[in-house]
Amino acid sequence: MAPAPQRRDLAAGCELRIELDKDEACSVKVVNGHAEVFGMELAPGIEYPFSDEARVAVHSFAGCQLEMSRVV
C-alpha cells in the first residue's frame, strides 16, 4: 500500500526541491495556485511523475498548494 499523499504550501517566490535516488519515484500535483518546473507551468489537478535520480525544483511566483505522492 502506498503512503498517503502529503500537502505542502509553497509561499510566493519560493521553491520546493526534489532529489530522488536511483529506484525512487514521486509525483507532484498542483491543488491550487500556480507552480512551474523548468519554466513550464504545471496544470492544476494533473499528477507529474519524477523518478530515477531526478533533480527538480518546483517554483511558485504567487504561491500554491502541492500534493506529493511517493511511488513505491
Per-residue pLDDT at 72? 62
Q: Average pLDDT of 21-26?
A: 93
Residue 49 predicted with pLDDT over 70: yes
Model-level pTM? 0.87
Give the residue extent of every domain in the chain: 6-71
Q: What is the 3-state secondary structure (H, E, C) of 19-62?
A: ECCCCCEEEEEEEEECCEECCEECCECCEEEEECCCEEEEEECC
CA separation (Å) from 10 to 24, 45, 68?
A: 23, 16, 12
Residue type present at position 25 = A
- Find the mean pLDDT for residues 36-46: 96
Which pLDDT score is estimated for 2?
A: 67
Task: Answer whether 16's CB lies under 8 Å from 66's CB.
Answer: yes
**What is the structure's pLDDT at 71?**
76
CATH for 6-71? 2.60.120.1030
